[in-house]
Amino acid sequence: GAVVSQHPSRVICKSGTSVKIECRSLDFQATTMFWYRQFPKQSLMLMATSNEGSKATYEQGVEKDKFLINHASLTLSTLTVTSAHPEDSSFYICSASRDLQPQHFGDGTRLSIL
């Protein structure tokens, strides 16, 4: 089946640090990539949707200057959490999709800001 690779799987860093998370579709070209955040025991929350070569569409309440998304190719999207603070600690998950095909998720990145 489709494989989406997400890296790193875990990040622990100090407050004020910027953290970049990569999401790659390994065996298909993804027309759309999605970024989610999930707090413990809560449901997935869509942060933004990105299409290759165009600006990401952010969900209401998600700061675009805080969460920078780059989708430079059909196989790679990155999420940068800028100047991270403890409240940004969460489980970040990317997914990739092509046309109307199902989304395939990466393994997620557990971000802990001290």
Partner 1 sequence: QKEVEQNSGPLSVPEGAIASLNCTYSDRGSQSFFWYRQYSGKSPELIMSIYSNGDKEDGRFTAQLNKASQYVSLLIRDSQPSDSATYLCAVNKNNFNKFYFGSGTKLNVKP
Catalog residues that contact partner 1 under the rule CB under 8 A: 1, 6, 31-32, 34, 43-44, 46, 49, 51, 57, 91, 93, 97-100, 102-108
Instruction: Output 14 or 99, the one with its CB closest to partner 1.
Output: 99
CB closer to partner 1, 76 vs 82: 76
What is the residue whose two structure tokens read 């600006």?
A: 55
Cβ of residue 32: shortest distance to partner 1, in angstroms? 6
Instruction: Let me know: does 18 contact 81? Beta carbons within 8 Å.
Output: yes
Residue number, 22 or 82, with CB nearest to partner 1: 22
Say how far apart CA 114 and CA 112 lie, in whole Å: 6
Cβ partners under 8 Å of residue 11, min gap 6: 19, 21, 109, 110, 111, 112
DSSP strand pairing (109-113 vs 10-13):
parallel
From the CB of 105, what's the least distance to partner 1, in Å?
A: 4
Q: How far is the CB of 52 from partner 1 (least distance, A)?
A: 12
CB distance 43 to 106 below 8 Å? no
Nearer to partner 1, 2 or 76 (CB): 2
